[in-house]
Amino acid sequence: MADYKGKLNRQFPAKISTTAFTSIYILHLTNKFGKMYGQKILDTINEQMGTRWKPSRGMVYPLLREMEEEGYLKAWWDEPDKRSIRYYKITENGAKHLEKMKIKYKSSFREARAIVNTAIDEIYNDEI
């Protein structure tokens, strides 16, 4: 067995976590659509992604709170006394952060897409 220690990067080349990807996507959606509530964000992702990707509520809601604490999102209750629906809107700081993250991860996204497309072409040899 080959010794890979220090010789090769054994991670998949697209170095982006699911959490980071989900954060970028949430900021993108709130930037595109304006104010949104958590379930609407989940529904929009489901509409756009279909069955290909579905982040859990357990990931999305903590990220919304975290991004609010970091100042990337502004949040408020529709009816503060009832705490029924909590809306989120991207802040100016959040829009700047989104642009930075898009730049930071653009090459990783493209690299991941190229690797997957190459593998699909190679494995299925135009069967798809």
Distance, in Å, from the CA atom of 30 to the CA atom of 94, rounded to the nearest integer, reads 10
Residue 30 CB burial class (10 angstroms; 0-12, 13-18, ≥19):
buried
Q: Are 94 and 72 in contact (CB under 8 A)?
A: yes
Q: Can you list the residues of the chain whose pLDDT is less than 50?
A: 1-2, 4, 7-8
pLDDT of residue 92: 98
Q: Which domains does the chain have, with CATH numbers?
A: 18-102 (1.10.10.10)
Q: What is the pLDDT of residue 103?
A: 94
pTM of the complete model? 0.80
Q: Write down the pLDDT at residue 13.
A: 57
At residue 22, the pLDDT reads 94
